[in-house]
Structure 1
Amino acid sequence: MRSTSTRHAILTGAFALFVAFAVPAFAQQKQTVPGTTVSLVAPEGFTVASGFAGLQNEKTKASIVIVEMPAEAHAQLSALFANLESAKANFARQGVELEDRDEVETSAGKVPLLSGTQKANGVTFAKWIALLKGVKTVLVTIQSPEDADFDGDDAETLLKSISLGSEPSMADKIGALPFAVAAAEPFRVVDTLGGSGILMTVGPLNADPSGKQPILIVAGQLAATQGLTIEQLSETLLRQTRGFGDLTISTREKRPFAGTEGYLLAGDDGAGKRFEQYLAVGPDGRFVRLIAIADADQFDGLKPGIAKIAGSIAFKPAK
């Protein structure tokens, strides 16, 4: 089983870089991506996404995903983009087959641009991934089905349209999430995660390599239910979360959550940590999940705060 510190590193990196998509014709008006430092000229037919930070085209199923991390993350991520061979090795773990690496001049300076393909749900997507640095480290992923008329020149045009501004307020970033949520003592907000999640903790550190501080993450996305009941989906998602496969589940019960009938799992990792996971699936197929983890001797004292945060969560209408 993974160490506690490794699990914390995975969870706090739950920006989980999923992917982005785009189309060929470009409008001329620059717009800000809600909850981020990024402004860009959007491809024609794109609207602000409701489930992540970025833009999407409902017709083509193409998207542009913006993931922002602390400025300090740029040095580490730059190593992944340093050359094509190292990039191939790292992105292959995510199922991305990279073919080329270029550098593009942007208003944020010269940035590396990786290109390749990825297969998902029987569809092959063309993909471009770029790394920029402003007040935040910014990862831009463009992804488009191969049969959509979008190429590397279009990706470069999009990147050249990007400008990076000041960091939005925490209220604005929380407001851009696909769900409503409010912190409750003793938890405090550290940051939002990729426009689709939020990280909270208890204690003075925002990054805790030792894994001593309690953490709480709320994340939302589309649910690939595949006919699963909420009970089955809840356990499947928990077991698929890296570092959680060996947890012992001691509580399974229906519980009101996010304005609907949700499901609660609770248990421990056999190594001094306890957890709770709340899950609810909304009427449009989106789900929201809360996971809280803390030392066993702290957990009971945190449960009122966890319950209050869980009670504040509600789905927002899809845009």
Structure 2
Amino acid sequence: MLKTNILLFVSLVMLPFFSWATKDLVQIPGTSVSMPKPDGFELSDTFAGYLNAKNSSSVVVMELPLEAFGQLSALFGNLETVQQSFAKQGVKVNDVTLLEMDGYKAPVVIGEQAVSGVSVDKYIALFKGQKTVMVTYNLMDTKTFNHEKVMASIKSIEIGKAASLSDKLALLSFTFQPEKPFNVADVMGNSTVSLTTFEGIDKSGEKPVLMIGSSMSKTRFPEPAKHATALIKSLVGFENLTITSESKVKFAESEGYKIVAEAEGKTAIQFVGYTKTGTYIRLVSVGNSEEMSKVEEKVNAIAKSVVPKS
């Protein structure tokens, strides 16, 4: 379950010259990460990290349960394995290197990803604190923000005390009402909340989990129905799914789509609402098909409670 959930969370995970040594550390809201703000970037109001509005480059901070560190550390330590794993998310991994930090060697995955026909260079660094921390650089301009500057940026990162769950919930761009047996587990990247039906870790990988997240950037969706289908197919294990139902719905006070799909003995229920401003909010719940049939009404009730913050 841990492996499945980590990949699911990650799948739910964009500069001019500057001198990192002379810049003050900035606390990334809702996270344990402090790092200097690169020139041309500002703190994002839609995710945890920095955004360069001129070229859509970003530095995204994602925190996962501490228990995930061992698995991710092992994954990042094997080039062939990390290439296979990230390929499923459309990321071509070119190298994995270790960056010498103060008393720690941070593994850094280096690769690229095609997004809407544009090649985006990616650097993904892994850290261990009170949480498992991943910092991802999505770079549209590597001429001014080259490899050496990225590595210097990563080296400047400091990990401190993790933010409280209540503080992180307050930073979400939407509100919702949990329904038993779903309980709030964590908030990731200031954009996604996870709810589980179990305590700790479900090693079986069968028990239902639920996530609600908002898109981290604005874009146009000329064919939202196709986009919603592509989103559910991006779930780990649902690449060759069978859609059992799909319909237009009102979700998160927006026009949207509900899709129910099955694959390999599991069921996924997904709601996606598309706003007029070009963002979307997505709810997805996944688990063993028999278990999902028991909580479907609760999933629908949570979906009805999702409201964007004004």
Aligned equivalent of 2:134: 139
Q: Partner of 1:166 in structure 2?
A: 161
Residue 68 of structure 1: SS of its match in structure 2? strand
SS state at 2:30 partner = coil
Q: Give the aligned partner of residue 310 of structure 1.
A: 303
In the other structure, the counterpart of 1:98 is 94
Structure 2: how far apart are the matches of 1:149 and 1:211?
44
2-structure distance, mates of 1:308, 1:11: 22
Q: Superposition pairs for residues 146-185 of structure 1, below 5 Å?
A: 146-185=141-180
Question: How many Å separate the matches in 2 of 1:87 and 1:310?
Answer: 34
Shift of 1:170: 1.0
Count of residue pairs the alignment pairs up: 306
Superposed displacement of residue 32, structure 1: 1.6
SS at match of 2:9: coil
Shift of 1:56: 0.8
Aligned identity (percent) is 30
Cα offset for 1:12?
4.8
Q: 1:14 to 1:173 in 2, by over 3 A?
A: farther
Q: Structure 2 unaligned runs (5+)?
A: none
Match in the other structure for 2:62: 67
How big is the shift at 1:9? 4.4
| C-alpha distance in structure 2 between counterparts of 1:257 and 1:283, whole Å | 13
- What is the RMSD of the two structures over their aligned residues, measured on CA atoms? 3.2
Equivalent-residue separation in structure 1 for 2:24 and 2:208 (angstroms): 43
How much does 1:83 deviate? 6.1
Q: Say if 2:278 is the partner of 1:285.
A: yes
Cα offset for 1:84? 5.7
Q: Which amino acid aligns with 2:167?
A: D
Tell me how far 1:41 sits from its aligned partner. Answer: 0.9
Q: Distance in 1 between matches of 2:117 and 2:85?
A: 23
TM-score, length-scaled by structure 1? 0.80
Give distance in 1, aligned partners of 2:76 and 2:260.
39
The 1:12–1:92 alpha-carbon spacing in structure 2 relative to 1, beyond 3 Å, is: closer
Q: 1:262 aligns with which of 236, 256, 260?
A: 256
* Contact 1:104/1:113 (<8 A) preserved: no
1:290 Cα deviation after fit: 1.3
Match of 1:78 among 61, 73, 77: 73
Q: CA, structure 1 residues 91+76, in 2 after alignment: closer, same or farther (shift >3 Å)?
A: same
For 1:44, the equivalent position in structure 2 comes to: 39
Match of 1:217 in 2: 211
Residue 310 of structure 1 deviates from its aligned partner by 1.3
The within-5 A match list for 1:182-221 is: 182-203=177-198, 205-221=199-215
Does the 8 Å contact 1:199/1:215 carry over to 2? yes
Task: Sort the Cα spacing of 1:100 and 1:136 in 2 relative to 1 into closer, same or farther, 3 A.
Answer: closer
Structure 1 residue 66: Cα displacement? 1.3
**Separation in 1, partners of 2:245, 2:112:** 42
CA distance in 2 between counterparts of 1:148 and 1:114 reads 19
Of residues 130-139 and 243-252 in structure 1, the stretch that sits farther from structure 2 once superposed is 243-252
* Alignment CA distance shift 1:199-1:12 (3 Å): farther
Structure 1 position 86, deviation (Å): 5.9
CA 1:225/1:246 → structure 2, altered by over 3 Å: closer, same or farther?
Answer: farther
Distance 2:207 2:93 in 1: 37
Give the AA of the match of 1:14. Answer: L
Q: 2:118 aligns with which of 105, 109, 123?
A: 123
Counterpart Cα distance in 1 of 2:248 and 2:99: 51
Per-residue deviation, residues 246-296 of structure 1 (Å, max 9, x unmatched): 54444433322101233223365584x554321101122211121234555
Deviation at 1:67, TM superposition (A): 1.8
Residues 83, 101 of structure 1: 8 Å contact kept = no
Unmatched 5+ stretches in structure 1 = none
Which of 258, 269, 276 aligns to 1:276? It is 269
